[in-house]
Amino acid sequence: MTRQRRPKQDNRTQSLFPDQPAPGKSPAKKKQKVRYETDEDGFLREIVGSWVHDKHARLARYVKISGQSVRRKWLGPRNAGATFIDLFSGPARVRIADTTEILPGSPLVAWQESMSDGTPFREVYVSDANPELTRAAAVRLRREGATVIPHAGPAIETVDRILRSVNPYALHLAFLDPYNLESLHFDIIRKLATLARMDILIHVSVQDLNRNVRRYVIQECSPLDAFVPGWRDQVDIARSDQHVRAQIFDYWRKLLQGIAMNTAEVAELVTGSTEQPLYWLAFAARHRLALHFWEQIRHLTPEPQTSLA
Ligand SMILES: C[S@@+](CC[C@H](N)C(=O)[O-])C[C@H]1O[C@@H](n2cnc3c(N)ncnc32)[C@H](O)[C@@H]1O
């Protein structure tokens, strides 16, 4: 008889998924509210937490570090160019909650950084399930000189439309920034990864998994089926929630490796105001050089980051 081997477990992975919620308000009882308001330009802007600084800083730094040494080589009329693909773009403008601080949203952060570096993306693809937000992002990017191709709709659908129109020989950077795991359908990543030169910065909602893991593993139709297809054969749901969560993430990384996308060894855990884990910024790329860049820029502070390796 063949013995079933348990998926290898790593204690450092588990540390991302505490059994106890962080001090302060219980995240399980807190309902996430998405709020928008009208900006002076007449379009919507999103009201966000201050952790948006970390998310956008890492995005900007990756755009910068990959600009001079790699993207530059794809520019010019004889070359295929470079694209930025934002499948959960939001409106491209945010205000930090309880402040008057107004900032660009992710597609504008990437575009502005590429411009200031002298290595502009040839096209910026913006896409959001909410057509009003997609339109707002497109208008704001065009105003700043970007060539924008908007596609409103759920990412699992717009990814197909975008893949049909991008230049397959170009250099691509995709940003996936959904609120929850269910929207991060693995097929989105699988499809993006069919392009030879594709780097993907992925926001994985640790908060969603921490709050809902037990509910997700007992549901017949679980959001995990989209996020990490095949998980039922890989995850031992009799183990503690902490183990189950860690197994899910380990298996997700294996799925990425299965489509020849390597992930960085170290995860960037972004935490909220009471230090509760919010999300993990993962980076996946086929080329080692891209992972090397990520390794160089992922530290925003000198403090050690949480390892998922
Ligand atoms: C975290 S916000 C994006 C913020 C933006 N990336 C930024 O950093 O400025 C997530 C966005 O995903 C959109 N969204 C939710 N479900 C989606 C789906 N299935 N496909 C595409 N967009 C979706 C929401 O409307 C929201 O604008």
Give the pLDDT confidence of 16-53 residue by residue, as tens digits. Answer: 555 544 444 444 445 557 699 999 999 999 999 998 99
48 Cα: distance to centroid of ligand 1 (angstroms):
12
Q: Can you tell me the distance from the alpha carbon of 124 to that of 154, in angstroms, rounded to the nearest whole number?
A: 17
Domain boundaries, the chain: 33-206+261-297
147 Cα: distance to centroid of ligand 1 (angstroms):
21
Burial of residue 199, with CB atoms counted within 10 A of its CB: 0-12 exposed, 13-18 middle, 19 or more buried = buried
Q: Do 113 and 201 meet the contact criterion of CB atoms below 8 Å apart?
A: no
Backbone angles phi, psi at 294, to 5 degrees: -60, -45
The CATH superfamily label for domain 33-206+261-297 reads: Vaccinia Virus protein VP39 (3.40.50.150)
Q: Can you tell me the distance from the alpha carbon of 275 to that of 245, in angstroms, rounded to the nearest whole number?
A: 19
Which pLDDT tens digit goes with each residue over 58-116?
Answer: 999 999 999 988 999 999 999 999 999 999 999 999 999 999 999 999 999 999 999 99
With a cut of 80, say whether residue 216 has pLDDT above it. yes
At 236, the amino acid letter reads D
Residue 170 CB neighbour total at 10 angstroms: 19
Q: Which residues line ligand 1 (CB under 6 A)?
A: 55, 87-90, 94, 105-106, 128-130, 133, 154-155, 177-179, 183
With a cut of 70, say whether residue 9 has pLDDT above it. no
Q: Whose CA is nearest to atom 17 of ligand 1?
A: 129
Which pLDDT tens digit goes with each residue over 88-100?
Answer: 999 999 999 999 9
